[in-house]
């Protein structure tokens, strides 16, 4: 995998444990579940970065100001082609889309290419999942997003992802 970078939202430990507990009954034996410390909601995927591009990504993160917001994770599904089990809010809050837009503008200002696919908020719960596209998530999990992070993927380590930089959500628009 090498170091693939992305911006994301990480749940606090209690929320991560609640998400993992809700997901457990949906994950069949033999399917690779995400480690609870790896649960995150990607805001913008960057891929591999040179040291200069990593610095530019940090500067983009520094430029983003947004308010904290609450989300209700209340649905599960899968991407059949990618074999990914996910959970997400049925109605993503406007503040999440505002954060994604602000981040995209800051990244574009640093020379990054905008994402071409529409943003779809979700957390990956498991890979190699071959189940149905609609699943019963059960009770909603409330999540208060208070920070966003610049993280990287790490080969062969558990947890698989590590936050390298953190920014508080709190400076309102």
30 part of a folded domain: yes
Domain membership of residue 18 (yes or no) is yes
Classified as helix, coil or strand, 163 is: strand
Inside any domain, residue 173: no
Asked if residue 93 belongs to a domain, the reply is yes
| 39 located within any domain | yes
Give the domain extent around 22: 5-168
Residue 57 in domain: yes
Digit-coded pLDDT (tens) for 87-136: 999 999 999 999 999 999 999 999 999 888 899 999 999 998 987 656 88
Q: Is residue 83 part of a domain?
A: yes
Convert the pLDDT of each residue in 42-71 to its tens digit.
999 999 999 999 999 999 999 999 999 999
Residue 28's closest CA among 123, 122, 126? 126
- Contact assessment for residue 7 and residue 61, using Cβ atoms and an 8 Å cutoff: yes
Q: What is the CATH number of the domain that holds 143?
A: 3.90.1140.10
Question: How many structural domains compose the chain?
Answer: 1
Tokens 């719960």: give the residue: 125
Q: Which two tokens stand for residue 2?
A: 């090498």
């Amino acid at each position: 995998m090498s170091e693939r970078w992305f911006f994301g939202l990480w749940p606090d430990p209690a929320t991560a444990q609640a998400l993992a507990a809700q997901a457990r009954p949906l994950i069949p034996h033999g399917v690779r579940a995400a480690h609870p410390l790896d649960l995150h909601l990607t805001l913008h995927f960057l891929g591999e970065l040179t040291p200069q591009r990593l610095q530019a990504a940090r500067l983009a993160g520094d430029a983003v100001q947004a308010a904290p917001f609450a989300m209700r994770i209340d649905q599960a599904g899968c991407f059949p082609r990618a074999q990914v089990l996910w959970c997400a809010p049925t109605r993503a809050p406007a503040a999440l889309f505002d954060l994604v837009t602000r981040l995209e503008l800051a990244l574009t200002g640093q020379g990054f290419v905008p994402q071409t696919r529409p943003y779809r908020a979700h957390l990956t719960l498991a890979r190699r999942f071959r189940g149905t596209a609609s699943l019963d998530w059960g009770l909603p999990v409330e999540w208060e997003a208070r920070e966003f992070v610049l993280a990287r993927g790490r080969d062969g380590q558990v947890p698989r992802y590590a936050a390298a930089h953190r920014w508080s959500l709190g400076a309102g628009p």
